[in-house]
Structure 1
Amino acid sequence: MSQSNIELLAKDLNAQGGVYCPNPKADMKLWNSHPKVYLDVAHTGEAKCPYCGTVYTLKTGEHFSGQH
């Protein structure tokens, strides 16, 4: 499976600072996806999905405040 890197803005993260994979930003289709997994992006600035290897990174200069 090809690994991709998805750059996120702070507004793309949920209130806890994370995203779920599979994610629409990764252009994943429901029929070829894996179980839904929560990835904490805000804590370290990036997270890698253990199923598909997609890496979600917070765009340079973006800051997550935990408030939307």
Structure 2
Amino acid sequence: MSTTSTVELLATDLNSHGGVYCPSPKADMAIWNSHPKVYLDVARTGEAKCSYCSTVYKLKDGEHVGAGH
């Protein structure tokens, strides 16, 4: 049975492109002993799942990315 961890993010946790990198200290991961670094585009759909460790990074309810016009 697989356990999937979910990390809730604020819009301010995302980088200027709307994403995060995994592994992440926000997920209580030590970067030195984890999988290769991967970029996850959270802003596009509000969440993204790491293909290595299955950690899901998602925006907290009510958080919005981007300023529109």
Is this a same-fold pair by TM over 0.5?
yes
State whether residues 4 and 55 of structure 2, in contact with CA within 8 Å, keep that contact through their aligned partners in structure 1. yes
Gaps (5+ residues) in structure 1? none
State whether residues 42 and 58 of structure 2, in contact with CA within 8 Å, keep that contact through their aligned partners in structure 1. yes
User: How far did 1:65 drift?
Assistant: 1.3
Bigger Rg over Cα: 2
Gaps (5+ residues) in structure 2? none
Q: Hey, which bits of structure 1, 4+ residues long, moved more than 6 A?
A: none
Deviations 1:17-64 (A, max 9, x none): 000000010000134310000000000000000000000001110011
Q: What is the CA RMSD across the aligned residues, in angstroms?
A: 1.5
Percent identity, aligned pairs only, is 71
Query: If the length of structure 2 is used for normalisation, what is the TM-score?
Result: 0.88
How many residues in Structure 1 have an aligned counterpart in Structure 2?
Answer: 66
* SS state at 2:21 partner: strand
Query: If the length of structure 1 is used for normalisation, what is the TM-score?
Result: 0.89
In structure 2, what is the equivalent of residue 51 of structure 1?
52
Separation in structure 2 between the aligned mates of residue 37 and residue 31 of structure 1, nearest angstrom:
14
| Structure of greater relative contact order (alpha carbons < 8 Å, 6+ residues apart) | 1
